Amino acid sequence: MAAFGIGIDLGGTLIKGAAFDLSSGELLHEDVAPTRDGEREGDVPAFLAEVRKLVARFEEMEGRESLVVGVSSPGFADRSASQIISMPGRLEGLEGLDWPEALARPAAVLNDAHAALMGEIWQGAAAGVQDVILLTLGTGVGGAIVTEGRLLRGHFGKGGHLGHASLDFYGDPDICGMPGALEDMIGNHNVRERSNGRYESTRDLVEAVKKGEEHALEVWDRSVRALAVAVASFVNVLDPELVLIGGGISEAWDEIGERLKNWMDEFEWRPGGGQVEIRRAALGAMAGAYGAAYFAMQRYEKS
């Protein structure tokens, strides 16, 4: 019987889990649990207790112990991929939690956007691609980079935080202090401010775009133009084969894809006719669980 592994995606509201046959990549089981941020269960954070229960359920269904567990989490993972070293403001008890020790088995943790890209490379829209960028458009903008087949984590673990790239050095600072950041130009967190109070969320804005409302079209086109300028800039620096767009906002792909490609025709530098491909990410909400399992499996194989 082939070994199986588990991927866990630790979100603010839900913990998503999946079990995979590690030789074929076949999905064996999926399940979810509440995150219960701020709660405790006995002497551990409730989210850890819920992860342990998910792992136990998968192992009970398989009738055997998992070979490895991967955890996708917000925050910066340390170089050993054993713990999150920085995640201020939420998920109390996450910082410094040693996952191999807490789960009592081989385990690895990585940033959630990094995990999403690893999942897309394993079984999603970037399968077989060696040079790829992922941008996750949601409350803010996350990102990840794989170059020559290697995940770029960086010296401190900040690699791939593309949403904090500046597009206006006179702009207001974002949550990291960066003026005029990309995530403040297309993220869901400030739609109301960007639309002069007309729309409360990206969903509201996109619905108005579909109806042809002039103000909504102006706000949306400005947002997608900012995204295109950022993507073209990242392409100049990293020269990827593929750019993936994921996250909740990517559900509005009909309103993003063609506009983005049209702006790229204007902004992208294409020496020799080379042009980056842009696709929507394929795995949706389960990308982090897929990528966490794949990342942990790779680390186990190399150890």
111-161 pLDDT, tens digit per residue, is 999 999 999 999 999 999 999 999 999 999 999 999 999 999 988 888 999
296 and 264 belong to one structural domain:
no
Q: What is the mean pLDDT of residues 274-301?
A: 94
What is residue 155's predicted lDDT score, i.e. its pLDDT?
A: 86
CATH number at residue 60: 3.30.420.40
Collect all residues with Cβ–Cβ distance below 8 Å to 102 and sequence separation of at least 6. Answer: 44, 48, 52
Q: Note whether 105 and 193 are same-domain residues.
A: no
Interval 274-298 mean pLDDT: 96
pLDDT category at 242 given cuts 50, 70, 90 is: very high
Q: Tell me, yes or no, whether 89 lies in a domain.
A: yes
Per-residue pLDDT for 236 more than 80? yes
**What integer pLDDT is reported at residue 17 of this predicted model?**
98
Considering the domain architecture, whether residues 25 and 64 belong to the same structural domain is answered as yes
Same domain, 264 and 293: no
**Do the beta carbons of residue 159 and residue 165 sit within 8 Å?**
no
Domain that holds residue 56: 4-117+285-302
- Whether residue 302 is predicted with pLDDT greater than 80 in this model: the reply is no
Specify the pLDDT at position 146. 97
Is residue 183 pLDDT above 90, yes or no? yes
Q: Is residue 124 part of a domain?
A: no
Q: How confident is the model at residue 110 (pLDDT cuts 50, 70, 90)?
A: very high
Same structural domain for residues 292 and 264? no
In the chain, the number of structural domains is 2
218 within some domain: yes
Residues 135, 158 share a domain: yes
**Domain-located, residue 122:** no
Report yes or no on 17 lying in a domain: yes
State the average pLDDT over residues 215-243. Answer: 98
What mean pLDDT comes out for the span 20-27? 94
Any domain includes 147: yes
Say if residue 69 is in the same domain as residue 111: yes
d(CA 157, CA 76): 5
1 falls in which pLDDT band (50, 70, 90)?
low
Q: Are residues 109 and 45 in the same domain?
A: yes
Which pLDDT score, from 0 to 100, does residue 303 have?
A: 65
Provide the pLDDT confidence category of residue 186 given band limits of 50, 70 and 90. very high
Q: What is the mean pLDDT of the chain?
A: 95
**In the chain, pLDDT over 70 holds for what percent of residues?**
99
DSSP letters for 152-215: ---SSS-TT-GGG-BS-TTSPB-TTS-BTBTHHHH-GGGHHHHTTTS-SSHHHHHHHHHTT-HH
Can you give the pLDDT at residue 156? Answer: 83
H helices of the chain, in order, are 46-62, 99-103, 112-123, 183-186, 191-194, 202-210, 214-238, 253-267, 287-302
Q: In this model, does residue 48 exceed pLDDT 80?
A: yes
pLDDT of residue 166: 98
Percent pLDDT > 90 in the chain is 92
Q: Which of 37-51, 77-91, 283-297 shows the lowest per-residue confidence on average (mean pLDDT)? A: 77-91
Is 123 part of a structural domain of the chain? no
Asked whether residue 58 falls in the same domain as residue 178, the answer is no
Is residue 50, in this structure, part of any structural domain at all?
A: yes
pTM, 2 dp:
0.94
